[in-house]
Amino acid sequence: MLVKIYVVDDDPVDRMIFEKQIEKVCNEQFHPIKTSQQNSEENSSFPKSEHKINSEGQSNRDVMEQPFEQIQVKVSCFSTASAALAQIRTLFLKGDFDTLPDLIFLDMVLPQMDGWEFIKKLTDLLIAIPGYNNVKSKLGIYLLTSFVNQFDLQKANTTPLIKDYLLKPILANDICSILHDYLRAKQK
């Protein structure tokens, strides 16, 4: 099973911290098998990592129906929402719906296009996909912010694609919990 994660944050330090936390979760929770580095965005020097993880650890047996099933976590980082949306649009136009992201960690304050504009444009794009409700049910957006904004929090609670509103920095425990919840839901 491949879990595709997009991280959309204009701060290279935040992106690096997030990827280190993903790596920590993979190392501690899922017994890594292999790690490879690639470029994730043509105009970004930040690497994309693919961590192949295996669920044979005791703490993960309850998550998987097949205890030795391999899980791959592929992280793609984007410095702008427009770059992430362009990648999703490209996959959409190719009809490559299986490679759309499963989880998106989206900073709310971004240059050119903020988080809410991204969500609106993404929703408009996803509505055009045959089987939109199936795609929508598999996609989870986690809003990232450095401060709590009550308006954003209320809006997040009423927006179907948004799974949670998280304060930065994101900790390995947060990522681990999100991945476990995602994997449990995928098993249903």
**CA of 109: how far to CAs of 3, 11, 106, in Å?**
25, 10, 9
Tokens linked to 18 = 């997030």
Between 28 and 12, the higher pLDDT residue:
12
Angle between helices 115-127 and 81-93 (to 10 degrees): 10
Higher pLDDT, 77 or 47: 77
| 154 C-beta neighbours (distance < 10 Å), count | 11
In this predicted structure, which of 42-46, 73-77, 138-142, 160-164 has the lowest mean pLDDT? 42-46
Q: Classify burial at 34, counting beta carbons within 10 Å of its beta carbon; exposed 0-12, middle 13-18, buried 19 or more.
A: exposed
Q: What is the pLDDT of residue 49?
A: 42
Checking if the pLDDT of 82 tops 90, the result is yes
Q: How far is CA 38 from the centre of its chain?
A: 17
Tokens of 174: 């947060």
CATH topology for the 2-187 domain: Rossmann fold (3.40.50)
